[in-house]
Structure 1
């Protein structure tokens, strides 16, 4: 039915296509799945943050913040404030790898996507972890 050459060529094409597909899928690691608008579920403050790509860096811009002492609302045209300055993929999660920062031995802020709409944030205050949950609203 098929000659050996035609069958071998078809197998080779299928194998090459398979490896190209696997390589493409495994190299497509990005922070796109955390992009969006998030609200903070914290007993210490209320906040809304927009994680987006700005000037080739993934940042978490503060849209609203209120800790009953300081209240901030971002208005278009004002200087932007950020929770995170340079989010990078690391070990199946994300870290805020602040560009230009020197090594100080401090713990990095980590972001872990628990669910597509739930983000676990761990910050370190005086070397103690402070965990927060952020919920996607957009």
Structure 2
């Protein structure tokens, strides 16, 4: 996990995207902003899902409107058994001319399901937000 500068305050942005697999709530992804112009995605597993499906895996992105992504290139897939929370690396909100971001998570479940969820888009130039989505 990348660390925000110590002088930055981290806040959650918009509504999270939720994932349920075979009728069981698995977790949610949300966008976080650190008021120093950086963004990341945060995934939180459901405790119950994690207990019974520890071999399911997650990859978490901060995704820009124009296709820029912030993802850990060294170990992008993480098993549920290791930690409740996962974070993408911090990404500068104006990287590659971007200013609109959302959190994205992809779950490869232990039952073979593959699910994707996105939190709200947030446009940093004027604060506009557009809805969250899930696909599973």
Q: TM-score, with normalisation over the residues of structure 1?
A: 0.31
- Going by fraction, where is strand more abundant, 1 or 2? 2
Normalised to the residue count of structure 2, the TM-score between the two structures is: 0.31
Write 1 or 2 for the structure with the bigger share of helix: 1
**Which has the higher relative contact order, 1 or 2, with Cα contacts under 8 A spaced 6 or more apart?**
2
Bigger Rg over Cα: 1
